[in-house]
Amino acid sequence: MRLASASAQTISSQQAASFVKSGMWLDYGVALCQPDVFDKALAARAEELQNVKIRSCLSTKPRAVLEADPDGKHFFWFSWHFSGYDRKQHDAGRCNYLPLNLGEVPGYYRRFLDPVDIVILKTCPMDDNGYFNLSAANLWHRAVVERAKLVIVETSKGLPYVFGDQNAIHFSEIDHIIEGDHAPAAELPNPPPTEIDRAVARHIIAQIENGCCLQIGIGGMPNAVCTLLLESGVSDLGVHTEVLIDGIVELYKSGRVTGNRKTLDPGKITYTFALGSKSLYSTIDRNPDFLCCPVDYTNMPHMIMRNDGVISINNTTQIDLQGQAASESDGHRHISGTGGQLQFVRGAYASDGGKSFICLSSTYNKHGANRSRIVLDLTAGNIVTTPRSDVMYVVTEYGLVNLKGKSIAERALALISIAHPDFREELERQAYDHHLIPRGVSF
């Protein structure tokens, strides 16, 4: 446990912001833990500071330091995973991505990064035992606190208080306390699934059995799986996931999630952070059925595999005919991040009876033209999130194929079979022309 230099005292946000000096590295934490009143106070000092670098992840609202510095002369934003807001900042040249496997980030702070000058995290108010609960965003915050030169918490009554492992900071570890604005936790809208989402989900549902252990990512397609599971007869499910979404909470409310067959944390819904609706936050608030754990516990493959029948469901945006899944960029334009996709693909494969699904719509529209997401070559600059050697099931609205153990030719033919019909002939011609499929061989 980190010990603060002196007993923590409540100070104003302006006093806290006064500790920041030019050239410092700050850490704002992830999602619900990002500070707000400190952020505004620091923004007010923009003209006094130069080259202040801030690590962050999944911003849920505009950041005052960036809004006050449109030219990027004073603050620069580094993100472990982009939200829509982070993406806009990247497009404007004010944000840079930090490549990762999400479950490794605590190790990055402990092994490779210099100590953070100041970490500022939004937390629940201190409880009766002297702890400041990190709410629904555990991740790597403990590692940052251990390695920080100065620890500041911004307390908020608007956050859910959640149970977990290493999900709090003790009073003795804190240097300063700021009272926050107590605004409700930021919500993530859940758009209803499209017909394509539901079609993809139906293929996946057929592969899920009673007692499976779910990991479900953010997005319309993974949420559609939850919706259809509510309509199915599948029961006695477990959950060991990175992000807790509304779809999983609805499954829990329906009684379909029990966790009784889990080896790791039986009876618990295990996750490292939550993003969703007010209903989600009220459900997990002081609910012992939910366990918020560090990300190196939830996301490392050797932990994931300890549960049997792991079902990993994640999105991609493009896949080539050899099976490389590019899930985080559009050429050199960064969109989101690697997150835990690769680690859950590997953990699910290593799980007894486990399955991983990479799902995508067969087409997308760009500049008024319909384009295939299944392609001969990835878009120039696209980042491979899951290598061809790791991909198991690929799913579009036209079907599901398993690439494990298949040759390049078999992979290409399988992927073409689930591409949009308008593109299949051209994809097959390209595959033959580039010798992915040898002529004279039939399968």
Is 425 marked active-site?
no
Q: What is the DSSP string of 96-153?
A: EE----GGGHHHIIIIISPPEEEEEEEEPPB-TTSEEE--SB-BTHHHHHHHEEEEEE
Handedness of CA 378, 384, 390, 391 (dihedral sign): negative
Is the CB of residue 224 less than 8 Å from the CB of residue 198? yes
Q: Count CA atoms closer than 13 A to 292's CA, side-chain side.
A: 28
Q: How far apart are CA 322 and CA 299, in angstroms?
A: 26
Q: Locate 271 and state its tokens.
A: 């996750």
Residue 263, Cα to own-chain centre: how many angstroms? 24
Active-site position among 154, 173, 242, 328? 242
Q: Locate 245 and state its tokens.
A: 């979404």
Cα distance between the two ends of the chain: 60
User: Element (H or E) spanning 393, and its range?
Assistant: strand 393-396
Q: What is the DSSP string of 174-207?
A: -SEEEE---PPPPP---PPPPHHHHHHHHHHHTT
The catalytic residue positions are 242
